[in-house]
Amino acid sequence: MAMLEVRDLEVYYGVIQAIKGISFDVEQGEIVALIGANGAGKTTTLHTITGLINAKAGKILYEGRDVTKIPGYKLVSMGVAHVPEGRRVFSTLTVLQNLRMGAYTRKDKAEMEATLKMIYQRFPRLEERKNQLAGTLSGGEQQMLAMGRALMSHPKMVVMDEPSMGLSPIYVNEIFDIIQKINEDGTTVLLVEQNAKKALSIAHKAYVLETGRIVLRGDARELMNNDQVKKAYLSE
């Protein structure tokens, strides 16, 4: 049984069908990438999985449980965390306050403080800036904060939407290194990313979305060498 199973998913915006019957799996311990052009349906897929958008048809199973109609805030307590596109940090709160917001479902304060310590070890810059307003951080630092905030819920699976968007090349490399380390520590990752080359370089398997349909799927390294993928997504 896969950790996440998406089956025949259909999503509409009004009369426009955005997702057209897609199916895919995410196994425990994997990094799975969804790649594709703007408007392919990547973010819509993530939003449906994390309960922000309702599916018109199909099923989403998490650890064998049907979560198709479960709202996002309940999924957090089940072990699913979402790092949204555009980071969405609370700009008028401090770094530390943002991180504590990520732990709102947790009751054990000692465990929460231990997680905070771990976050600071992984993101030393966040500890340096813990009393700074989140809105004053650089884009890369805000992305680290968004990732740290998600990890504060101690998730089994993290869903990440365009983590490299708008970042300098140095920060892009750093963010992808961090994603790999998060995965190596045992967290499953579902990654939506327009930077297909970077996504495929760290993913175990990948799915290519075009206009709401999965058109290619397979081992990430194999897809990186696929002529169709190279031409559409990997050309410099």
Q: What does the pLDDT look like over 74-87, one tens digit per residue?
A: 898 899 998 888 77
**Strand boundaries in 14-114, DSSP class E:** 16-26, 31-35, 57-62, 65-66, 80-83
The Cβ-side half-sphere exposure at 147, using a 13 Å CA radius, reads 31
Task: Please give the average per-residue pLDDT across 94-109, as a whole number.
Answer: 83
Split at pLDDT 50, 70, 90, the class of 29 is very high
Contacts of 101 (CB under 8 A, 6+ apart): 90, 93, 149, 152
Which pLDDT value is given to residue 50?
A: 93
Percentage of the chain beyond pLDDT 70 is: 99
In the chain the domains, ranked by start, together with CATH numbers, are 4-234 (3.40.50.300)
Q: Which of the two residues, 134 and 10, has the higher pLDDT score?
A: 10
Average pLDDT, the chain: 90
Specify the residue for token string 């760290």: 202
Alpha helices for the chain (secondary structure H): 42-49, 72-78, 95-101, 109-122, 124-128, 139-151, 169-184, 196-202, 220-224, 227-229
Contacts of 185 (CB under 8 A, 6+ apart): none
pLDDT of residue 235: 61
Torsion sign over Cα 44, 59, 202, 114: positive
* CA gap 10, 109 in Å, rounded: 40
- What's the CA gap between 157 and 81, in Å, rounded? 6
